[in-house]
Amino acid sequence: MLRDFETRLTGTIAPLITSPLVRWCGLLGLCAAYLQGSLMKLFDFGSAIAEMRPFGLHPAGPIAVAVIVFELLCSLLILSGFYRWFGALALAVFTVAATLLALRFWQVPPGPDRMMATNGFFEHLGLVGGFLVVAWHDLAAKHPARS
């Protein structure tokens, strides 16, 4: 009975969810923080430089430029499908590094700030997981025998 329900449900939902538009919107959602962040840094470069300083990133200006270009380029690779796997893996590695640098929840005293940092840390790990799935899916489609 449950199997029949699942078959009917997937038969109804699959044509809607598996459309190319929904896939692209999902990829856009995954890249949204990187697109927004890089554009905010681009249009308020002074704040982008200030964002680098508390983490000891010097020289802050060139690093901010590199982050802006990197986030935009990787997002565009993912959205365009050109070397999508590479853009996804690159953002996964970048996100792990940035998360370990900026969201050290274990160093925050217990309380609301620690809770927010902990939530942010694990939300970023969720993004990493999403990027790994995108890379896996893209590479598996190119090399089906290995998946």
The answer to whether 91 and 78 have CB atoms below 8 angstroms apart is yes
The answer to whether residue 145 scores a pLDDT higher than 80 is no
Say what percent of the chain tops pLDDT 70: 99
For the stretch 9-19, pLDDT in tens is: 899 999 989 99
Which is it for the CA torsion 63, 35, 134, 115, positive or negative? positive
State yes or no: pLDDT of 147 exceeds 90: no
At residue 146 the predicted structure's pLDDT band, cuts being 50, 70 and 90, is low
Give the amino acid at 43. Answer: F
Contact 127, 95 (CB under 8 A): yes
- Whether 91 and 74 have beta carbons less than 8 Å apart is answered as yes
pTM over 0.85: yes
Asked if residue 129 has pLDDT above 60, the reply is yes
Check residues 3 and 112 and name the one with the higher pLDDT.
Answer: 112
For residue 119, what are its two tokens?
Answer: 């939530």
Q: Which two tokens stand for residue 31?
A: 């890249």
